[in-house]
């Protein structure tokens, strides 16, 4: 049995939202890419199978548990779903002109010991 295959990103998924964890009003990314985590607390929701597809049925809270450096994508935030245990990675948006990810939150996350 094979895993899920890549789906095309649905139009309109780069929309403003309110973070369900900290309540921050989150703006869409200025570059048109899909923002799928809060720039303040770095939490997310388990909505995607692949970034931006909104194809996951879970909807659980994705808790940031670590950061990784990707050679092509830069800093990646590692999330684990509190509902189903799924682990996913999201590109940090440190250079967004409207609402960049919090450097302090990213640094704090990078200094935590990762336990999965």
Q: HEC string of the chain?
A: CCCCCCCCCCCCCCCCEECCCCCCEECCCCCCCCCCECCCCCCEECCCCCCCCCCCCCCCEEEEEEEEEECCCEEEEEEEECCCCCEEEEECCCCCCCCCCCHHHHHHHHHCCCCC
In a domain, 41, yes or no: yes
Which residue range is the domain that position 100 belongs to?
A: 17-111
In a domain, 59, yes or no: yes
In a domain, 8, yes or no: no
Output the pLDDT for position 12. Answer: 45
Give this prediction's pTM.
Answer: 0.81
70, two tokens: 């990707």
Residues 45-61 have pLDDT tens digits of 998 877 777 788 899 99
In a domain, 7, yes or no: no
Q: Count how many domains the chain has.
A: 1
Output the pLDDT for position 56. Answer: 85
């Amino acid at each position: 049995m094979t895993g899920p295959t890549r789906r095309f990103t649905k139009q309109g998924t780069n929309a403003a939202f309110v973070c369900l964890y900290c309540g921050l009003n989150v703006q869409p990314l200025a570059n048109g890419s899909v923002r799928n985590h809060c720039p303040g607390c770095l939490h997310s929701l388990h909505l995607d199978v692949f970034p931006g597809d909104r194809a996951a049925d879970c909807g659980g809270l994705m808790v940031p548990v670590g950061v990784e450096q990707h050679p092509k994508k830069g800093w990646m935030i590692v999330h684990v779903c509190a509902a189903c245990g799924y682990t996913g990675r999201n590109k940090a948006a440190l250079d967004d002109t409207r609402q960049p990810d919090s450097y302090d939150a990213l640094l704090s996350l990078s200094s935590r010991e990762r336990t999965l």
